[in-house]
Amino acid sequence: MTILNGKEIATDALAECREQVQALEAQGVTPGLAVVIVGKDPASHVYVGSKVKTCADLGIYSRRIELPEETSQRELLEVVAGLNADPSIHGILVQSPPPPQIDEEEIIRLIDPDKDVDGFHPVNVGKLVMEDDSGFVPCTPQGCIHLLERAGIETAGANAVVIGRSMIVGKPMALLLMGRGINATVTVAHSRTRELARVCREADILIPAIGRPEFVTADFVKEGAVVIDVGINRLEDSSRKSGYKLVGDVAYEEVAPKCRAITPVPGGVGPMTIAMLMGNTIKAARSSMGQPEGG
């Protein structure tokens, strides 16, 4: 059984990002990322802090915009509109989830598609469907594909099962897996799927993304499967100084012995998500100069 170490693979990806940032700076451009967070959700602030720190490590300019819990829809729209017009900002990210008074879909639609480094704008979703490489791919599914590729996992013709159908992970994950260059045969399972465990046992590659701690047990996994655990959940644990532990959607201890390869939580998909965000920001900066990806 191989543990797919996302930290190590992300470190390699970030090293490539650092070289790309230096190349852009030599041309007089510093990639810029704005991260907007509304409210005081502790987990969201941790995620934002990790993104800002990674930007600093790579030489990417970052702007962290913290807004109070009571921020109105109109106020947030004005902030996003200002960032759309700011030439020093190439990527815009509004941390999810926002407080209940915020219509997240309207915010996403206002973000300039050329600065939508989360890949959630309808223009970028459409480009993903059409396999148009000029768009931005959501960072977590992109990170999962990168993990599979770097680990040398054969995907062509493989049966892949994605558990979850969200626009953030499930749907884009399925599109990427069935796309050219990956060529998997894809099933998207969800809460209404009949005989879910049986469906999952057909998977050569199983990708749970449902936000339910340790939901996927050994009964869901066939011998020799590859499991990419997207879930990250907090469980109370009084034995730890923090008072909690992080677990995935997979019951790791009982599932891992059956797997050919599996991601841990933490240290699996999470670091890859941030690395892909950095890559998207660099891509946006390059695009603003009229350079194609890789140019």
- Catalytic residue positions, numbered: 51, 95, 118
The tokens describing 55, both together, are 């930007």
- Measured distance CA(93)–CA(115) in Å, rounded: 9
- Measured distance CA(197)–CA(176) in Å, rounded: 23
- Measured distance CA(76)–CA(64) in Å, rounded: 14
- Measured distance CA(220)–CA(218) in Å, rounded: 5
The tokens describing 209, both together, are 């993304």
- Measured distance CA(247)–CA(250) in Å, rounded: 8
* Residue 204 near residue 162 (C-beta atoms within 8 A): no
